[in-house]
Amino acid sequence: MRSIGHFIGGKAVKGTSGRFADVYQPMTGDVQAQVALATKAELRAAVENAKAAQPAWAATNPQRRARILMKFLELVARDNDTMAELLAREHGKTIPDAKGDILRGVEVVEFVLGVPHLMKGEYTEGAGPGIDIYSLRQPLGVVAGITPFNFPAMIPMWQFAPAIAAGNAFILKPSERDPGVPMRLAELMLEAGLPAGILNVVNGDKEAVDAILDDPDISAVGFVGSSSIAQYIYERAAATGKRAQCFGGAKNHMIVMPDADMDQAVDALVGSGYGAAGERCMAVSVAVPVGKTTGDRLMEKLIPRVESLKIGPSIDPSADFGPLVTKAALDRVRNYVDIGVKEGATLAVDGRGFKMQGYENGFYMGGCLFDNVTKDMRIYKEEIFGPVLSVVRAHDFDEALRLPSEHEYGNGVAIFTRDGDSAREFAARVNVGMVGINVPIPVPVAYFSFGGWKRSGFGDLNQYGADSIRFYTKTKTVTARWPSGVKEGADFAMPTS
Ligand code: NAD
C-alpha cells in the first residue's frame, strides 16, 4: 500500500511517529494509502529547514522569485491530468471538478507573479525639512498553513503562493484525508527551482497543528476548515503572538425573487448545491424563494432536476457528482437528513438509499431536497456539507434579506432577479462577505480577495488578492533626514510636522 510521509527540506521523508491515518478511495470505499501523522519533533525539523533557507530566499529579488512560480505553473499544466486524477481518487469529486480545483489555485499563482509590483512600498519626499519617508514590505519569516480536505489543490496554493512570492518559507499541514496532491505540489515547486526548505509539507492531525501553533519560530498561520477549529486556531495563535487568518464553515443562501428567470435559477441551484456532492464552502445549501407562487414554481422545476442528478464514480466523466469523502462524512450527512425529517421539514427528494452499482462500498448518496424548512431547525442552522438543499420560503424581500444576514455564518450569498434595484440594495445591505447577483458561487477572481464574515472568517484580512500580500508581509516605515536639512542643537519636544 502507498505510504505518504512528509516533504521536509526538499526531500520526501518517512514519518517516524508510528501513527498513521487511512486515506480512502471514496469511489470504491477502499483504503488506498496511509499517511503519516507528524510529531512535534518532525514539525520542528521542518521549521529548522525553513528557518535556515528563508533569509536567502527573502534576499532573492522578487522578479526571480516570480520566475520560479512561473516555471511551477508550467509544471502544473504538464501534470494537470495525472494530478486531477489523483485528486479525484482521494477526494471523490469528479475529474472535471478536480481540474477546476487545480485551476482556481493556479489563478492565484498567476496573480502573485506580479509580486515585484505588489510588494512596492510608499514614498513621501519632503515630509519635513530634508526628511523623506518610505515604507517597506518585508516577509514575516516562517509561516504555516492548515488546509481542509475539500480543495486539496486550490487552498494550499491560495496560501503558499503569496507567502512564498513575498519571501517567506512555508509549512503546509494539509488535510490527512487527501494529502497526495499537496505533496505533489511541493515536489513541483522544488522541480521549478524553489530552494529546498522554502516549502515543506508536514502531514498530521491535531498534534501537528498544535505544534505549529506553539512553535515560536512560526510568525503567521492561515487556516481553512470548520468554524469551531478556525476559532480554536485563531485564539491559540493569538495567544502566542502569531498573525492568523482562519476561515470556517458556511450556510450559503440563494434568494430567488419572483421576477427571476426560473430556469436559470434552477440550473444555478442544482450546480452549486450538488456539485462536488455539496462539499464546497461556497455551495448553496439554502434556497429562499420569495412569495408563495415563486416557491411553488421553483419546487415544480427543482424536484425533477434533483431526482435526475447523475451520481457516479469520480472517474466517470458524465457524472454530476461523486461520492462523499469518507464513510463518516456519509453517515453524518445521512443523519442530518433524518434530523430534518424528525424536525418536520418536507423531504421532497430522498437520496439516502442511493447505491452505486458496481461500487457498493463507495461513499455515495443521492441528492436530497427539503421544502418548508424553518429558521429554528438544525438542518437550517448547521452546516451539513453534503448533497442536501433546504428550501426556506420567505414572504417578501425583507424577510429574504434577514435570513442570511442573521445566520451565524456569512460566507457567500446570491440573489437571482432581473431587477437591478433589488439586486443593488441586497448587495449593499446583506451581512455576508461575498455576494453573487445571478451568480450562484461568487468566489471572487484572484485579483480580488476571498473571505467570509461572522463565523465564516476570523481575522481581518482576506485570502489572495492584495490582502494576501498584506497578510504575509510586515510594514516597516523609514523616516530619513540627510544632514543638509539638519539644524544644530538638541530638540527635546516631540517632533511634529
Ligand atoms: P476540518 O476543520 O475538519 O479540518 C481542517 C484542518 O484542520 C485539517 O487540516 C485538519 O487536519 C485540521 N484539524 C482537524 N481537527 C483538528 C483539531 N481538533 N485541532 C486542530 N486541527 C484540526 O475541516 P474539513 O472537514 O477538512 O473541511 C470542511 C470544512 O472546511 C467545512 O466546514 C467547510 O465549510 C470549510 N471550508 C471553508 C472554506 C472557507 O474559505 N471559508 C473553504 C473550504 C472549506
Residue 250 CA: nearest ligand 1 atom is 34
Confidence at residue 495, expressed as pLDDT on a 0 to 100 scale: 80
70 C-alpha vs ligand 1 centroid, how far in Å?
Answer: 29
3-state secondary structure of 436: strand
| End-to-end Cα, the chain, rounded Å | 69
Q: Give mean pLDDT in consecutive 10-residue pieces for the chain, a chain of 497 residues.
A: 96 96 98 98 98 98 98 98 98 97 98 98 94 97 98 98 98 98 98 98 98 98 98 96 97 98 98 97 97 97 98 95 98 98 98 96 98 98 98 98 98 98 98 98 96 97 97 97 74 81
Which architecture does CATH list for 2-248+456-478? Answer: 3-Layer(aba) Sandwich (3.40)
Backbone CA torsion sign across 462, 467, 473, 476: negative
Within 10 Å of residue 151's Cβ, how many Cβ atoms?
28
359 C-alpha vs ligand 1 centroid, how far in Å?
Answer: 27
CA neighbor of 201 nearest in space, from 43, 7, 3: 7
Q: Find out if CATH 3.40.309.10 is the number for domain 252-437.
A: yes
Confidence at residue 262, expressed as pLDDT on a 0 to 100 scale: 97
CA neighbor of 15 nearest in space, from 163, 207, 303: 207
What are the phi and psi torsion angles at 37 (to 5°)?
Answer: -110, 120
249 C-alpha vs ligand 1 centroid, how far in Å?
Answer: 8
Instruction: Kindly name the residue from 281, 309, 345, 415 that is annotated as catalytic.
Output: 281
Quickly tell me which residue has 489555485 as its cell.
105
Domain ranges of the chain: 2-248+456-478, 252-437
Tell me if the pTM is above 0.85: yes
Residue 147 CA: nearest ligand 1 atom is 9
Confidence at residue 485, expressed as pLDDT on a 0 to 100 scale: 56
What are the phi and psi torsion angles at 347 (to 5°)?
Answer: -85, 95
Cα(172)–Cα(212) distance, integer angstroms: 10
Catalytic residue status for 281: yes
Q: Where are the alpha helices (DSSP H) in 284-385?
A: 292-307, 327-343, 378-381
Confidence at residue 31, expressed as pLDDT on a 0 to 100 scale: 97
Count Cβ neighbours within 10 Å for each residue of 45-73 and write b for 16 or more, e otherwise: bbbbbbeebbeebbeeebeebbebbebbb
**Which segments of 68-174 are extended strands (E)?**
123-128, 131-139, 142-146, 169-173
What are the phi and psi torsion angles at 483 (to 5°)?
Answer: -50, -30
What single-letter DSSP state applies at residue 315?
T
Whether 249 lines ligand 1, by a CB cut-off of 6 Å, is yes
10 Å CB burial of residue 450 (0-12, 13-18, 19+) is buried
Confidence at residue 1, expressed as pLDDT on a 0 to 100 scale: 87
The answer to whether 203 and 176 are in contact (CB under 8 A) is: yes
399 C-alpha vs ligand 1 centroid, how far in Å?
Answer: 31
Cα(38)–Cα(468) distance, integer angstroms: 27
Whether 146 lines ligand 1, by a CB cut-off of 6 Å, is yes
Confidence at residue 487, expressed as pLDDT on a 0 to 100 scale: 67
Confidence at residue 486, expressed as pLDDT on a 0 to 100 scale: 66
Cα(155)–Cα(152) distance, integer angstroms: 6
Cα(175)–Cα(180) distance, integer angstroms: 10
10 Å CB burial of residue 103 (0-12, 13-18, 19+) is middle
Confidence at residue 484, expressed as pLDDT on a 0 to 100 scale: 64
Of 35, 203, 209, the one to substitute when testing ligand 1's pocket (max ligand atoms within 8 A of C-beta) is 209
**Residues 6 or more apart in contact with residue 160 via CB below 8 angstroms:** 145, 170, 172, 185, 189, 199
